[in-house]
Structure 1
């Protein structure tokens, strides 16, 4: 029997003996990385330009509203109205951030690395969705808080005035969360359909803006019921309808009122929940298919 001629070389590889953090740590790392990516942190200076330009615009508007209130002694816009008026900027923020979160990974083919243990298939899209929703909530809620601080320091009613401002702020922050949930779920679903960021961005903008003419057409129909239900046809007006029903006076200020939905407020609330749930379900289904390839 011939003697073995093979040689085993010790090149220094060792087994990992440290702590294995598991699923929760992986999910948290994906979430934090996604949140940083949404604002361009940890990436090139070019990637930071648009996100921080949007942050600067909404913050500057909030600061200007605060300064005007300090000068004239009364508010010119409520916290909830601020979210409505800044929603068009949120659309473009989503169009840039969502493809960065998911389309790049689809194009580069790194998803099999993510889907190795201990990360379940659903955790990847859910972490990305939570990161984008958090970024959008901060984008709207941060300036609202700036407005609150200005109002709290300029109110002449002492602690009672601060408490009144706080009672206006809290539901408006929840309203900003609704904007974030709807925009993030719709935007991420569209972005997950393609690995090309330009196509994903264009698709997101189209979904939000191309549905607006449908609302305009339905809102001038001769039927009042159709007019009041017309705002279900677009994600933006859908959220506005929920706000008109749930917030009431917080969206009625200085002659400006919310979306005219009549008595269909609960219908809008249910539709918003179904829209988010449906987008999340389709997003999870999409990544089950991607993982199976």
Structure 2
């Protein structure tokens, strides 16, 4: 019989006796980490280039608005128009950030590490969604606040002028929030379908760009009803229609020819938001961990 040579070594493992912060802390940590990742904070210079390039573009437009108003005293772009005119930078930002938040985890197969903690699959999806919504809201909201501050300092009617300006700012921030909620849900859903960030970014851009000519075709070839409903085919135009229904045309003589179909745009936005978030949650219930 062979002699027993096995030895048990005490290498100092001890049970953890500290506080267990639980599911809420895990959700908050994932949200904070995702929000920082959206802007490349805590990562290398390469991860910061594209997000901050888009931030520079939107801030540049804000500076132009402030400078023109301070020099001429006229407002050539309202707060709502500012958010609407930056559709392409927002689209680019979503195409960059959404794959960064979810596609990397799919590619690197790190989801089992997340789900081994007190973090449900739905928690993961909602934390990522909340981070992307916050990032888009900051992208559109912070420049509007800067424009507001610039406008207040150029007005000569004191508190009443600041209050009137705040009444114009409110719909602009509300429009930014609506855009963040809806467009982030669509973009994150698309990004969650691919582990390759380049493919996910291309798919996101494709959804926004390919559907735009459809709006033009329906507007030209359709009857009066179809022309009023044509803008439902593109998420960006859908946002314009929804904002016009909620707040009215951006200025006199402008706006989309919605007719009496404003409530349809409201319903379509709710369906798009609820459907995208629901499919996102379903996606992470089915994804392999």
Alignment TM-score, normalising by the size of structure 1: 0.95
Does residue 272 of structure 1 match 2:269?
A: yes
1:59-117 C-alpha deviation (Å, 9 max, x unpaired): 11101111110111121100000000001110011101011100000001110111123
Q: CA deviation at 1:17?
A: 1.1
Q: 3-state SS of the aligned residue for 2:203?
A: helix
Give the Cα–Cα distance (whole angstroms) in 1 for the partners of residues 270 and 4 of structure 2. Answer: 69
Give me the whole-angstrom Cα distance separating, in 1, the residues matched to 2:86 and 2:180. Answer: 12
2:67 is aligned with 1:76: no
Structure 2 residue 181 is the aligned partner of structure 1 residue 181: yes
- Show the counterpart of 1:217: 217
How far residue 3 of structure 1 moved from its aligned partner, in angstroms, is 9.9
Deviation at 1:7, TM superposition (A): 2.8
Is the 1:244–1:258 Cα contact (8 Å) retained in structure 2? yes
Match of 1:122 in 2: 122
Superposed, 1:200-211 pairs within 5 Å as: 200-211=200-211
CA contact (8 A) 1:62 1:147 kept: yes
Give yes or no for contact 1:243–1:258 (8 Å, CA) kept in 2. no
Once residues 213 and 118 of structure 1 are traced to their aligned partners in structure 2, the CA distance between those partners, rounded to angstroms, is 46
Tell me the CA shift for residue 156 of structure 1.
Answer: 1.5
Aligned to 1:252: 251
Classify 1:222/1:121 alpha carbon distance in 2 versus 1 (closer, same or farther; 3 Å): closer
Q: Which residue of 1 aligns with 2:170?
A: 170
Instruction: Name segments (4+ residues, structure 1) moved above 6 Å.
Output: none
Q: Which residue of 2 aligns with 1:282?
A: 279
State the SS of the aligned residue for 1:287. Answer: helix
Compute the displacement of 1:222 (Å).
4.2
Determine the C-alpha separation between the residues in 1 that align with 2:26 and 2:151: 41
Q: CA RMSD in A?
A: 1.6
Q: Aligned equivalents of 1:77 and 1:41: distance in 2? A: 31
Give the deviation of 1:226 after TM superposition: 0.4
- How far the C-alpha of 1:165 sits from its partner, in A, is 0.6
Query: How many residues get paired?
Result: 289
Structure 1's unaligned 5+ residue stretches are none
8 A Cα contact 1:40 1:47, kept in partner:
yes
How far apart are the structure 1 equivalents of 2:236 and 2:64?
25
TM-score between both structures, scaled by the size of structure 2: 0.96
Unmatched segments (≥5 aa) in structure 2: none
After TM superposition, give the deviation of residue 260 of structure 1 in Å.
Answer: 2.0
